[in-house]
A and B are shown apart, each in its own frame.
Chain A
Amino acid sequence: MTFLVLTTLVKIGFVLFFVLTTVAYLSWLERKVIAHIQSRWGPYRVGPHGLLQPVADGIKFFFKEDIVPLEVDWPIYLLAPFLAFALAFLSFAVIPFGTSFQLRGRTVFLQITDLDVGLLFIFAVTSLGVYSIALAGWSSNSKYPLFGGLRSSAQMISYELSLALAVIGVILISGSLSLRDIVVHQSGFWQPAGLSGFLPRWNIFVQPIGFLAYFTAAIAETNRIPFDLPEGETELVGGFHTEYSSLKFAMFFMAEYANMITVSCIATLLFFGGWLGPMFGPPWLQVLLPVFWFCAKVFCFLFFYIWMRGTLPRFRYDQLMAFGWKVLLPVGLLNILLTSLVVTWRNA
């Protein structure tokens, strides 16, 4: 029992450190990639190639003046950023980063906890995340935050539905809601007609529509371009985080990046085989390699997120809502229908 508690605490420490560092350097990556897309350099002076820029930004956030408007609803104004931050990091409790290793004769999984309903846990945390934005917008007691907060909440609850539906195809194929089981189900290669396979058994090859619907809905959930009208600077000043400054704003900022990372992790786990990849070498390498493959795949998704931010214009709000309800929802339902037909036909 103590072994379990100790290993879990160590894992939590690792994951927290890892995700916080990734969030900080994701901001660096974003500025660099968008800069290069726009033919300029990006952060260049603070450290080699601007690598110490996130450190400078962190220090800046601590020392900025914390301006609080007079008429805010204090308890909720304080609650909202911390709720956003806490929920964004809570999702990492069920994400498997790799396989497992043996410590003193006992197996330690590279995952904080493997819930039987791990995927639904992620959806639960996402559903609760709507509150942080709605409350932030409302408690600021000002026009632009209220608009931004309400628009964002409406957008998030609409796309949550499409998100869940898009993923049901994967659940039907894997037969389980546990994230580890879904990845393990994707091991091996497709063997068409007895030939030696080269195509890994990833779910992307059997659920392309599901993947596209999932990723689109997830970008809308995380309020990123092209779905970021609720916080677009040219539209609503700052949207729901207009009246927040210094550390509270930093909380929202970090929560948004952490949500991006969660979405990328789930996309890798559900559709791209998670930690599966070429394995070779001594046993200690065999434990580290899956983590490396997982991080490489997540990095590709994050890069794609940033690439889209640098390239696409944003949707108008009514186009955004129409797209969520009139396109993504039927596509998700169609995907479920087709997947169930194929799964039943194969099992018959």
Chain B
Amino acid sequence: MSDLIHKSAAELADLLSTKQVSSEEVTTAFFDRSEKLNHKTFSYLHLNRETALAAAKKADQALAAGKIQSPLHGVPIAVKDVLVTQDAPTTAGSKILEGWMPQYDATVVKKLREAGLPILGKTNMDEFAMGSSTEYSAYGPSRNPWDLQRIPGGSGGGSSSAVAGRLAPLAIGSDTGGSIRYPAAVTGSVGTKPTYGAVSRYGVIALASSLDQIGPVTNTVLDAALLQDVISGHDSKDSTSLPNSLGSMADAVRNADFKGLRVGIVKQLSSDGFQAGVAERFQDTLSKLTANGVEIVEVDCPSFEYSVAAYYLILPAEASSNLAKYDSVRFGMRVLPEGNPTIERVMAATREAGFGPEVKRRIILGTYALSSGYYDAYYGSAQKVRTLIQQDLANAFAKVDVLLTPTAPTTAFKIGEKVNDPLAMYLNDIATIPANLAGIPGISVPNGLAKEDGLPSGVQILAPAMQDAKAYRVAALIENLYKAEWGGYLIDQAPDLEALNV
């Protein structure tokens, strides 16, 4: 049943619920492929056939008993290594956590298990989700299934390459400044950052607590919607989780129509700095919408200019504090310096050896930004920018239903191209960061291949906070327009991974 790997999660779920295929068969198909091809994409840090098949068998037993635990019952999934799992080591891409077996499951992981989704493995990521390419993973970079010399985006490049390379039908990502949406854009897959608080962060290894959000990485908009419906909902263990349900995203996708739709484009994010082929794809998306009677309005978001600067103060500040716990005392790596070391020296030696360069860079930045005498100028000002961005968005959403931007300024760059230029790396997230600063939902949907390099490009849909359904509605409409043009999904045009060589 090798054609199973080419089906969407929704299609697999239909086959499962009608008992045309078992979860064990589906899980085995993806497992076989993952074991065969993971050395090419390096999507997974950890694969566990035994636990995945045990979960698949349990899902099959439930099905046999007539019990369908969720609309994705029996469909296997890959989980970013930033979520703690009781049955698999969890590293967040860092040496400092190498071999750590968590004592508990993240709420999202628990929900996946309860919904009958077998977990295939844990996916690669930039260390502590700091990066846009997975090149900062302590375990080596993942590779883009469209071109193995190129990055699959980051920090969630393990999840995006797993889905785009069909090593998993679904994956979970985390998005602090674009770590779901950017990888989705450069691998031709779909990625959603839900409204802040829509999905529990309990058991998610924190990068920046006020920005982090968990979301789906998939090959279709419906799959993303189905997965968001499974993982979202209030969690008493996460004080910042929203009290009320945001409704069914799958319904929003299935009932999507153009009626009365008003779309905004952001003056500050529609012309300068985008690769020509990416800009051309964006114009193409707008033309298609216009052709369907959608009104396109340009909106002004002047504070967006400061979003990257504000982000790189807030994120390091929170991260410097969140990462303080990695001190060798209770878990993870411990390095004992020579002689008769003090606890300070043990902590310092462990952190020196356990953290990579980008993590150290951001800890130093954040520590500085929070220092007495600098707090107001840096962290304080950044928080004010955050408020201004929220105001810009409130003004914009008074005029339009959603905003569209290109998701990423360029298509996937080559491994090694930007790794020594942190500032260039930071600018990859220029279009995705405002959503995290404002707490609003954003979805990246494929909108074709850039003409100059034939690599995937994505369009980002932003909606007001708690109106994720609106973003899904427009994502589904755009996907449908392109499906009509291409006769399928963009991912169907991806090269045969088995034929590619590293």
**Do A and B associate with each other?**
no
